[in-house]
Amino acid sequence: MLKGIPAILSPELLKVLCEMGHGDRIVIADGNFPIGLVGKDPIIIRADGHNIPDILDAILQVFPLDTYAEKPVTLMNLLPGDVGRVATPIWDTYDELIAKYDARGGETVGHIDRFDFYDEAKKAYAVIATSEKAIYANIMLQKGII
């Protein structure tokens, strides 16, 4: 055990966060994310039984967002058929959590199309597989410097 480290951050996840360099990205994936799609390049970390907001809050306590990137946080756009039909209240939760640790708050968040998100996830340093049930909950963070 370590002092000041959120218990939800497993030793494996802490190691990965430490290994990541400036500009590297990590995906926190919801329960519907096709983990097999990303192949063998990113490290896969299982966080079954956990939701994304709890993991995001813990990560942001120790993980600087990239201040050199205009949008160091990336979310998946709604599919055209879901626009105006599907609510994404988890995005508001993300904005609140980000604002706790980064003065730019929601300004850090950008959106890309679904398949572009999947392509970017394949290039990420790691993917955390959660049990999050909210749809459109996948989030990608780009690491900054201290």
118 is catalytic: yes
66 is catalytic: yes
Quickly list DSSP for the chain. Answer: --TTS-TTS-HHHHHHHHH--TT-EEEEE-TTS-GGGGTTSSEEEEETT--HHHHHHHHHHH-PBPSSSS--EEEEPPPGGGTTTS--HHHHHHHHHHHHH-TTGGGGEEEE-HHHHHHHHHTSSEEEEE---STT--EEEEB---
Selected catalytic residue, list 30, 57, 66, 102: 66
22 is catalytic: yes
Catalytic residues: 22, 66, 118
